[in-house]
Amino acid sequence: MAVLLTNDDGIHAPGLWALYEALSIRHEVVVVAPEVEQSATGHGLTLYDPLRVKPIHMGNGFRGHAVSGKPVDCVKLALGELLEALPVMVISGINPGVNLGVNLHYSGTVAAAREGAIHGIPAMAVSIQAPGKHMAEAARFAADLADRMLHQGLPAGTLLNVNLPDRPLDRIRGIAISRQDTTRPEKKAYEKRLDPRQRSYYWLEAEFPRPGRDTGVDVDAVDQEFISITPVKCDMTDHETLAALRGWDIRVPGATGDGA
């Protein structure tokens, strides 16, 4: 069974091919990735445009399918159409730039892995601090971790979100199994500029200020030069709030049933 490899940076991104090289030592790897960059497109899908698939041949013999869509389109199309059998796992990355804290909601890298997990396939998203000078080493680590994930198994509907500091592996302090940081994003995250005709426009800042936060969270782990690994669930239900919500006694006006 093959490994499905994708990303949100486009099929020509170095992080994807670093991972391809590392994974293909022990696996058959099928690349299905967006033809152009789709960073921060989250779990978006293409509804009103056709999806075109082009075969890509890299000079070094690597092959893949370039899709005119978003990361989640790639995974859905691969599972439903392009692959002959379900992949043994779905790996997404390596994204040059961390996907931590609230940014998991915006990340196309994480969304692609999440789509795999939604289908019950073991899945992993891999990101490295920008600029990602140490892609090959990060890929080696990720490929080993992917094999460990296969061996240990993951509950269906859970994926691993992996983030590495951008440094050689022998200068990383260790592994931190961490929770997602929930620090709220800055409200003022846009730079206001003027175009040559003096009209204003807004551009999202590349770097966000980092206020103090708890230890044990993913953001802190990478700051402290650890590799952060967070198990992420597709089930978005807040199980702790279910009972409290039932206690709200919400009624449909005029309904005669007793409710569930």
Q: Which residue has the tokens 């996907």?
A: 99
Helix residue ranges, H only, 96-152: 108-118, 135-152
* Residue 113 CB, nearest approach to Mn ion (Å): 13
| Four-point Cα dihedral 135, 234, 100, 25, nearest 10 | -10
- For Mn ion, the closer of residues 37 and 147 by Cβ is 37
Q: Is position 8 an interface residue for Mn ion (rule: CB under 5 A)? A: yes
Q: Is position 181 an interface residue for Mn ion (rule: CB under 5 A)? A: no
Count of residues that bind Mn ion according to CB under 5 A: 4
Q: Is position 41 an interface residue for Mn ion (rule: CB under 5 A)? A: no
Q: Which residues fall within 8 angstroms of residue 74, CB to CB, at 6 or more apart? A: 6, 32, 33, 34, 65, 67, 112
User: Among 3-11, 132-140, 148-156, 231-239, which window interacts with Mn ion (CB under 5 A)?
Assistant: 3-11
Burial pattern 202-240, b for ≥16 Cβ within 10 A else e, equals eeeeeeeeeeeeeeebbbbbbbebbbbbbebebeeeeee
Q: Is position 39 an interface residue for Mn ion (rule: CB under 5 A)? A: yes
* Residue 36 CB, nearest approach to Mn ion (Å): 11
- For Mn ion, the closer of residues 4 and 33 by Cβ is 33
Taking CB atoms, the residue at the shortest distance from Mn ion is 39
User: Among 17-25, 33-41, 148-156, 196-204, which window interacts with Mn ion (CB under 5 A)?
Assistant: 33-41
User: Among 6-14, 81-89, 174-182, 247-255, which window interacts with Mn ion (CB under 5 A)?
Assistant: 6-14
User: Among 32-40, 146-154, 175-183, 191-199, which window interacts with Mn ion (CB under 5 A)?
Assistant: 32-40
What DSSP character marks residue 185? P
The distance from CA 77 to its chain's CA centroid, rounded to whole angstroms, is 17
* Residue 97 CB, nearest approach to Mn ion (Å): 6
- For Mn ion, the closer of residues 39 and 161 by Cβ is 39
Q: Is position 9 an interface residue for Mn ion (rule: CB under 5 A)? A: yes
Residues numbered 76-95 forming contacts with Mn ion, rule: CB under 5 A? 95
Q: Which residues fall within 8 angstroms of residue 109, CB to CB, at 6 or more apart? A: 7, 8, 9, 39, 71, 92, 93, 95, 99, 125, 126, 127
CA distance 117 to 106: 17
- For Mn ion, the closer of residues 39 and 103 by Cβ is 39
Instruction: Using CB under 5 A, list all residues that contact Mn ion.
Output: 8-9, 39, 95
